Structure 1
């Protein structure tokens, strides 16, 4: 729950058909036919989905039908205006797969993604256009629904480059130096079953059913080549990427991400988010690094804290989001006064206190039902994009004395290199295999 920053160039909106590869590989079609049970949906977030459907479908028609181009200089879903719903999925490559399997998977995923972001089915035959005696290519739950602003963002984890079987994909020499599992941080209580992964897909949309449909179908396409390791549903964005979006609130009730990098701040994007052509490795130029952290909030404990203490812990006023040193939400905090505690979240996370380090956030609230004690299993699914993983590591270490640590636990973690966008007719990550 780091205090965010500002900047990034918006992906172009498009309602036209995108150029794409000719179709799915044989392996991809096989996955559609026999892999229908590989969706791995998170059932516990049903309450969030129910409310989300009502909210998403109540949007104006023009918003519901918005579509973002899949191809471009950068992958969509980074500086794109943050949508209301998330389905994030992490995958591991299957044993005995090889370079050809990985490339064909990325080709098949890119083709299907380029169709789904337009509101189309994963293939031309789709859910009902194929043989009646064979499983359909598309699962069909998004039939009749618009694109709903769907974006699909793909990332490559450390394990993809080298594992216990050696360099089976022939890309170990292309591994970015900073692409390592994040170090242990004070207070980590990570569940290995909901951490890490060879590949990741971030699906964001203004209709939760559209996001779930995308992950479900991409999971089927992966059959025989990659398996779902873990997934997370999110609702209620906790950051903004455009000035037109109001600053949202997290489950503690505070505005979250006031200082986030915005899509029109191209200078900040170049400095803090996009990997430069002068950086190494060259294949990642135009891409970024994605960090995911599942942060459990001790909701019931927080709810018994008096308001003045909540404000002091965060360093901002709960109502307006203004820093306790005075002004409105967007007034720069004054840290040399006694108004803001030196160990408040704002004081420790703000770029003015961290040598100007900034990151772009796209986090979401989550509620996974109740735990064994009858308490809400809820919190923040933190997502951030940065030019170098060292940016996040420095900020997280700085937060070791954060007063908020008494009320949160980091229970999941992962890092992925996010390639630049694909050119029409190509696929995500093609430069890695050139």
Structure 2
């Protein structure tokens, strides 16, 4: 049996088999989205895109949560294969952690990499990131509810360690979820300032998983829709509005402890220092939105489109005044606006940390843009997200969006050097 306390100093024999046999499967797993990645790459300047940025994989918390939000995302959900056991799961997490610790530093997945191995065997690394810098790559790994228990079966002897809050999200008004783009036993969030670096990470981690886990669904994203540092400008979503003005920032330790990081007092103990990730694929009905008058767009959001200031006055960072009215006594910020419904003042002070991305997956059969927001939020408890999502049930913006994908995962704390993500779960 695999000893979870043993240091992982390389890819296991099972992982090496995946590198040798998984090339075809990994290529298929990227799906049609690979073309979108190439399109996003057009015109980028790799010299300009954070060439010197490299974030450590090991640490107190997993990178990719409070890390400055990068420009590109490749998110993948995985299911463990039938007839896998506890040792398979542990060895997979060890292999993933080892490879991730190298790729986040701009290295190949193993010492022999793409060109130093035997000419008579497939290379360990697929090679498309050769010569590219780390580009701020972060790799974040999460555990879904079905990893702990599936149809009443404790597949890996960890059901007793499932956090109470880690359960399939409830149905929300307006959900039109695609089961093929929702949930999963495991997830990997790869963010980078070069889309090819992010795609390379998921491609190679998929190969390493061969025989143990398979891609359930994946999503490419571009153009971050949030910020986690004051130095970052507030970005815009595909509706053209600034997004994430009031996000929790990485230097706000008190807010992170209260709203993002699971504490030692929370149950279970192995998750302390971790968090919960909710992913929602939100389709935007772009063509309908583009025909809405500017004043109405502002009213739906509750902010002006240019500056991002609340309609009650001030600049982008002025606190909204929901009591302020016009001469007729009508509130300047509508009661059904997105800003008001999502504001902590009306949700028991609840806040979440957002890391979202725009996506464009081509066109629909009707010739409309298949586009929207891939929403990612981190919170200390899933109830924070549930409360906010329910509060948005009367949001006027719901006329122009639809929720088409969903999932929740427990994000373990960071791993210590030589160990692996999630080791505490198996202690």
- Which one of the candidate residues 121, 126, 137 is aligned to 1:150? 137
- Which one of the candidate residues 412, 416, 427 is aligned to 1:419? 412
SS at match of 2:296: helix
Report Cα offsets for 1:123-165 as digits up to 9, x if no partner: 0000000000100000000000000000000000000001137
Q: CA RMSD in A?
A: 1.1
State the match for 1:268 in structure 2.
255
Alignment of 1:27-426 (within 5 A): 27-39=14-26, 40-44=29-33, 46-47=35-36, 49-59=38-48, 63-164=50-151, 166-337=153-324, 338-426=331-419
State the match for 1:12 in structure 2.
none
Question: 1:102 offset after TM fit, Å?
Answer: 0.1
Contact map agreement 1:273 1:288 (CA 8 A) in 2: yes
Pair 1:431-2:424 in alignment: yes
1:299 and 1:56 map into 2 onto residues whose CA distance is 29
Contact map agreement 1:38 1:228 (CA 8 A) in 2: no
2:357 and 2:34 map into 1 onto residues whose CA distance is 13
1:242 and 1:278 map into 2 onto residues whose CA distance is 28
> 64-73 or 284-293: which moved more?
64-73
1:191 and 1:263 map into 2 onto residues whose CA distance is 33
1:284 and 1:377 map into 2 onto residues whose CA distance is 36
Report Cα offsets for 1:309-347 as digits up to 9, x if no partner: 000000000000000000000000011121000000000
Paired residue total: 413
Normalised to the residue count of structure 2, the TM-score between the two structures is 0.95
Contact map agreement 2:142 2:187 (CA 8 A) in 1: yes
2:253 and 2:45 map into 1 onto residues whose CA distance is 30
1:56 and 1:388 map into 2 onto residues whose CA distance is 39
2:231 and 2:423 map into 1 onto residues whose CA distance is 34
Contact map agreement 1:56 1:206 (CA 8 A) in 2: no
Contact map agreement 1:38 1:216 (CA 8 A) in 2: no
Contact map agreement 2:262 2:272 (CA 8 A) in 1: yes
1:52 and 1:317 map into 2 onto residues whose CA distance is 31
Unaligned runs of 5+ in 2: 1-6, 325-330
Report Cα offsets for 1:402-432 as digits up to 9, x if no partner: 0000000000000000000000110000000
Contact map agreement 2:357 2:374 (CA 8 A) in 1: yes
Contact map agreement 1:272 1:359 (CA 8 A) in 2: yes
1:29 and 1:55 map into 2 onto residues whose CA distance is 33
1:313 and 1:407 map into 2 onto residues whose CA distance is 10
